[in-house]
Amino acid sequence: MDIFQTGVLCLTVCAVSAVIKDNGDIRLALTLAAVCLIFGSTAGMLLEVKELIGGLIEKTGLDSSYLRIIFKGLGICCIVQISSDCCRDSGHSALASQIELAGKLSLIVTALPLFRAVIEIIEALLV
């Protein structure tokens, strides 16, 4: 799905949601279906990015586990953004804030190996 189709889908969902504004359950289901469809169709783009970054990591000789950390972080960010936006749209802003907090903490835990690697590089430079 290209960006034009994605935009048309989003505008259509917004228009239909405006027409049926009395039924919040159907609006939420419609929004979630559109989000899942868009996310699923754009997930294939990540393969191109993964191949590009993988090639760069091979050229630099870095550990490939760093690539895994990058994509885990990207996945965490996408899931947290979509989840918190859906919660806010359904009127649960406190729940959305908690999802964002959990996502930030999860991202920090995921990135800890990178922090360790940076500290080891600094230690090696200082010795």
How far apart (Å, rounded) are the C-alpha atoms in residues 75 and 103? 10
Query: Does a structural domain hold residue 5?
Result: no
pLDDT tens-digit readout, 108-119: 999 999 889 889
Q: Which residue from 45, 46, 10, 52 is spatially nearest to 31, judged by alpha carbons?
A: 10
Query: Does a structural domain hold residue 78?
Result: yes
The whole domain housing 98 covers 63-127
Residues 6 or more apart in contact with residue 6 via CB below 8 angstroms: 38, 41, 42
Q: Say how many domains are in the chain.
A: 1
Name the one residue in this structure whose structure tokens are 């993988």.
54
pLDDT tens-digit readout, 48-87: 887 887 788 788 777 778 778 888 898 899 889 988 988 8
Token representation of residue 79: 């899931």
Query: Does a structural domain hold residue 43?
Result: no
Which of 7-21, 51-65, 95-109 shows the lowest per-residue confidence on average (mean pLDDT)? 51-65
Query: Does a structural domain hold residue 56?
Result: no
